[in-house]
Amino acid sequence: MRAMSRAGLMRSCLGAGLVLLLAACSSTVVREPGSGGAKVPASTGRAGATVVVQQGDTLYSIARRNNVAVEDMARWNGLKPPYTIYPGQRLALGQGGSRGTATTTPGRTVTPPKPAATTPAATPAPASSGFSWRWPAQGVLLATYVNGDNTRQGIDIGGSSGQPVVAAGDGVVVYSGAGLVGYGELIIVKHNEQWLSAYGHNRKRLVAEGQKVKAGEQIAEMGRSGTDRDKLHFEIRYNGKPVDPLLYLPKR
């Protein structure tokens, strides 16, 4: 078998790491790569404790540093495979309250009753961000957000190649790169401790990590990187979890 080139190996490693970074749980055992199949020890966590995601962090690296299980971290923070997290996101290191357990009495076992099945309700809008959002691009709305659907975590805006993509609010660029599979040339802007926005499939990125941007400032050129047509994929995230951008963008 022909040996993989050094450049190819680096690209493969980068892609795998950033899939876990963007950071949106199955019943299979989650294992740390290179652990030889050993299950990460379970942990009760620390109720009320949190950690802020730094550039280059993954859910695995954060769990290991804090001596908790990856599957627990995912559950406490409502994360689903591929455990998407963002730089600047605040993650819980524990869960408040006690879990229901079985109790026993002589001659029988009593278990807590199962909750009645209910129809999933629409997720209410989070608290106000405290600032006004603006549309990141002009064009036709191709796809909308669907709560709970990992393939519909934002909106798609159709346009033409090279069309301006602008910041939806004041903030700092915390990611500018092309390492996340499915997003193409991607930019992530942190607006404050709770709010982030993401801009994918660009033709060209015009800002660097650490750069401050203003609402309406051009940050990229629209393109079709990682997709089949010229469009912008736009997400808004509150404490790392996707919300419907149409609840925050001005009506048009």
Q: What SS3 class is residue 16?
A: helix
Check whether residue 152 and residue 243 sit in a common domain: yes
3-state secondary structure the chain: CCCCCHHHHHHHHHHHHHHHHECCCCCCCCECCCCCCCECCCCCEEEEEEEECCCCCCHHHHHHHCCCCHHHHHHHCCCCCCCCECCCCEEEEECCCCCCCCEEECCEEECCCCCCCCCCCCCCCCCCCCCCCCCCCCCEEEECCCCCCCCCCCEEEECCCCCEEECCCCEEEEEEECCCCCCCEEEEEECCCCEEEEEEEEEEECCCCCCEECCCCEEEEEECCCCCCCEEEEEEEECCEEECHHHCCCCC
Record the tokens describing residue 210, joined without a space: 């650490």
Domain annotation covers residue 110 = no
Check whether residue 167 and residue 221 sit in a common domain: yes
Chosen domain end from 65, 94, 123: 94
Q: What CATH number has the domain bearing residue 75?
A: 3.10.350.10
Domain annotation covers residue 100 = no
121 pLDDT higher than 60: no
Check whether residue 161 and residue 243 sit in a common domain: yes
Alpha-carbon distances, residue 222 vs 22, 29, 64, 69, 157 (angstroms): 21, 40, 38, 40, 10
Q: Model pTM greater than 0.85?
A: no
Check whether residue 164 and residue 242 sit in a common domain: yes
Domain annotation covers residue 41 = yes
Domain annotation covers residue 71 = yes
What pLDDT, in 10s, does the model give residues 159-202? 999 999 999 999 999 999 998 888 999 999 999 999 999 999 99
Q: What CATH number has the domain bearing residue 190?
A: 2.70.70.10
Chosen domain end from 39, 70, 94: 94
Domain that includes residue 228, residue range: 140-247
Any idea which of 79-88, 113-122, 162-171 has the lowest mean pLDDT? Answer: 113-122
Q: 65: how many CB neighbours lie within 10 A of its CB?
A: 10
Chosen domain end from 27, 59, 94: 94
Check whether residue 89 and residue 144 sit in a common domain: no
* Structural domain total, the chain: 2
Domain annotation covers residue 47 = yes
Check whether residue 149 and residue 214 sit in a common domain: yes
Check whether residue 147 and residue 237 sit in a common domain: yes
Residue with tokens 């807590």: 112
Check whether residue 159 and residue 229 sit in a common domain: yes
Check whether residue 85 and residue 149 sit in a common domain: no
| Mean pLDDT calculated for residue range 23-47 | 46
Percent of the chain with pLDDT over 70: 70
Domain annotation covers residue 122 = no
| pLDDT for residue 124 | 57
Q: What SS3 class is residue 7?
A: helix
